[in-house]
Amino acid sequence: MIRINENYRKLQSSYLFSEIAKRVAAHQEAHPEADIIKLGIGDVTCPLPPACVKAFHEGIEALADETTFKGYGPEQGYPFLRDAIAAHDFQSRNADISSDEIFISDGAKCDTGNIQELFATDIKVAIPDPVYPVYLDTNVMAGRSGAFREGRYGGLVYMECHADQGYLPALPSEPVDLIYLCFPNNPTGAVISAAGLKEWVDFAKDNKALILFDAAYEAFIRDAQLPRSIYEIEGAREVAIEFRSFSKTAGFTGTRCAYTVVPKSCRAFDASGSPQKLHDLWNRRHTTKFNGVSYPVQCAAAAVYSPEGQDQTRELIDYYLNNAAIIRKEMLGLGFQLAGGENAPYLWINTGQDAWAFFDRLLTQAGVVTTPGPGFGRCGEGHIRISAFNSLEKVKAAMQRIKTALH
């Protein structure tokens, strides 16, 4: 008898986005003239940078010619892209990462989900609340949690992020084995200092734990004092895996290219307690289950590191950061306590009331769609996420409307 993985039954239906869609549709139906502005989006809106488009085309032309045609490439990615990443994203910032520690993939979502297959089922997992739901759901699927009760899965350690600590998670008060961190954060927009990140690296070392560091929004960091990679922190090579993506950096959400960094000195332990190289395990997993990102897409990603690509991606991110600054200024002006919007495309607003009630108010009185915080965890109660991913015109119009509605 073929049986299902019962862990899937523990998963909560991701009702967040369907509920948002339902409420937006109802409002639109009642007010057909309403011009609704979406500031709830976790997806980019600007087109690909011209340098990437040009390289993308050239990659396709290469495949159209017998003399330059390419079939399967290396599963880990082409050296031209891995070398560019190592030099620009790490070595230039004194982070000791070499190109053979970089694994090109089709997404940080897949990588953050897939990586946990390297670890034992009975480890203790620490996950922030609020959180990008992928970390949580993939561990539930793998059987690392108990049942869902009162907004929480049993067996997991939730690291609560509250306003009084700037929405940064505190070090767990109990020993944990696997720790998920994401900075700049989705959904809160919070960032972490080098000193703050060092505490996590030291904690992981002391507890023989591992940090999974999601740096998908690294390109939004403009403050030169903030670490862009966990490998800028001493000791991180042994205790951290980092995830990066071209999705938010260069508008690749529909193009698909990302990478995971697994240093050769990064370790986890076998049943007898002796350290094993995670690089070997991930290399085995990646080459067994993945056949590489397409050549034209890797060409397009490599173009991010050309002088034109660097200028264009910077301009792209500046555009969203300007939107974020406008939202931040207006919401602060309205007296809200908030995080994010600086060095990050998201703002996390403490609404001072029920999150869904506030969502409805913005929808019906201002025609603006946001994301209710409870969709990201229990600590999201009373909060909404506002995203800077939209056009400047729409962001300005949305903030004007919110000001009028809430004044």
Binding site for ligand PLP (CB under 6 A): 42, 107-109, 132, 182, 186, 214, 216, 245, 247-248, 253, 258
Provide the 10 A C-beta neighbour count for residue 1: 2
**Is residue 116 within 8 Å of residue 139, measured between CB atoms?**
yes
Identify which of residues 212 and 366 has a Cβ nearer to ligand PLP in the complex.
212
CB closer to ligand PLP out of 248 and 367: 248
Q: Name the residue nearer to ligand PLP (CB basis): 247 or 367.
A: 247
Please name which of 400, 337, 344, 389 lies closest in space to residue 367, comparing C-alpha atoms.
400
125-129 and 102-105 beta bridge pairing: unpaired
Residue 273 Cβ vs ligand PLP, minimum distance, rounded to whole Å: 32
Sign of CA dihedral 173, 176, 134, 292: positive
Q: Please, what is the minimum distance in Å from the beta carbon of residue 193 to ligand PLP?
A: 19
130 prior amide bond cis, ω within 30 = yes
Q: Whole-number minimum distance, CB 206 to ligand PLP, in Å?
A: 26
Residue 355, H or E segment = helix 355-361
Nearer Cβ to ligand PLP (85/182): 182
Beta carbon nearer to ligand PLP, 114 or 402:
114
Closer by beta carbon to ligand PLP, 258 or else 268: 258
Q: How far is the CB of 42 from ligand PLP (least distance, A)?
A: 6
Residue closest to ligand PLP when measured from CB atoms: 107
CA 24/CA 50 separation, integer angstroms = 34
Instruction: State the nearest-atom distance from the C-beta of 69 to ligand PLP, in Å.
Output: 28
Q: How far is the CB of 305 from ligand PLP (least distance, A)?
A: 17
Q: Which long-range contacts (CB under 8 A, 24 or more apart) does 68-75 make?
A: 70/295, 72/291, 72/292, 73/292, 73/293, 73/295, 73/298, 74/292, 75/286, 75/287, 75/290, 75/291, 75/292
CB-nearer residue toward ligand PLP: 182 or 366: 182
Of 186, 178, 110, 108, the residue nearest 144 (C-alpha): 178
Taking the C-alpha atoms of residue 218 and residue 100, their distance in angstroms, rounded to an integer, is: 21
Closest to ligand PLP by CB, 109 or 144: 109
| Cβ–Cβ < 8 Å for 218, 247 | no
Bridge-based pairing of strands 258-261 and 157-160 is unpaired
